[in-house]
Amino acid sequence: MLLNVSQLTQHYGSALALDGVSFNVEKDSCTAILGRNGAGKTTLLQTLVGVMPATTGKISLDGKDVTTAPSHKRARSGLGYVPQGREIFSDLSVGQNIEIVLRNHRFSEPDTLRDEIVTLFPVLGEMWKRRGGDLSGGQQQQLAIGRALASRPKVLILDEPTEGIQPSIVQAIEDAIRDLKGRMAILLVEQYYDFARSVADDYVVLDRGRVVKAGRGASMDEDDVAAFLTV
């Protein structure tokens, strides 16, 4: 297994937001985290990438304990994160958004990586010199994913990448996830059952900060999971 999450707990003040969450993400596969609003999905991702330290529990990436590592070290160790709401640099060009990360990581072949990103999302090549903020929401999501890929992650972590995005771009993102998961692991938070079902090899359902269901994507049953998705 590539990412191992064991008995993770997280608090906001005295409120328990994650309650003993355990699961694994396997190499070259996609794991979907499902659950309704407030279930703890974003809190889980933020705890994994080090936005806030875990209260208790353990996070191992490729055999290395990263539980207390600062977020920039986790990024260097291979956690690539695309937060909800995308958070690209709106005033920089598309190219600059990606180049900043490429330069920061000092890879030996940045050109190859840049080409891979543009092949995955051709629109980024077409809009290379445009301001990030001029892109549509869906294009910004592609840019945010492209920027995360520029750090050559071992695990690409996506928080609701399809939220509020037009269907044609949802399809492009789905195709990209399929393409990428042969090369890296993907951890995806998703509210929509259909999208998760179509890309996930494994799934985990959270409810009130706890894992209430988990299994292979192919065995995920809509009726079974639906009870934990509707408000």
Residues that bind ligand ATP (CB under 6 A): 12, 15, 17, 35, 37-43
Which residues face 230 on adjacent strands?
Answer: none
Identify which of residues 11 and 152 has a Cβ nearer to ligand ATP in the complex: 11
Q: How far is CA 202 from the centre of its chain?
A: 14
Quick one: 18 or 124, whose CB is closer to ligand ATP? 18
The Cα angle at residue 4 between residues 220 and 175, in degrees rounded to 5: 50
The half-sphere exposure of 121 on its side-chain side, counting CA atoms within 13 A, is: 33
DSSP 100-157: HHHHHHT-S-HHHHHHHHHHH-HHHHHTTTSBGGGS-HHHHHHHHHHHHHTT--SEEE
Nearer to ligand ATP, 127 or 190 (CB): 190
The token pair at 212 is: 């209430």
d(CA 107, CA 123): 24
Whose CA is closest to 86, among 182, 162, 18?
162
Least Å from the CB of residue 25 to ligand ATP: 18
We find the least distance from the C-beta atom of residue 33 to ligand ATP, in angstroms, to be 8
Minimum separation from the CB atom of position 161 to ligand ATP (A):
13
Measured between alpha carbons, how far is 201 from 199 in angstroms, rounded to an integer?
A: 7
Among the listed residues 127, 175, 181, 120, the one whose alpha carbon sits nearest the alpha carbon of residue 146: 120
Q: Is the CB of 14 or the CB of 219 nearer to ligand ATP?
A: 14
Q: How many CB atoms within 10 Å of residue 171? A: 11
Instruction: Give min distance, CB of 163 to ligand ATP, in A.
Output: 9
Which residue, 42 or 139, has its beta carbon nearer to ligand ATP? 42
CB of 20 to ligand ATP, least distance (A): 15
Q: How far is the CB of 23 from ligand ATP (least distance, A)?
A: 15
**Amino acid at the residue 31:** T
- Residue number with CB closer to ligand ATP (40 or 78): 40
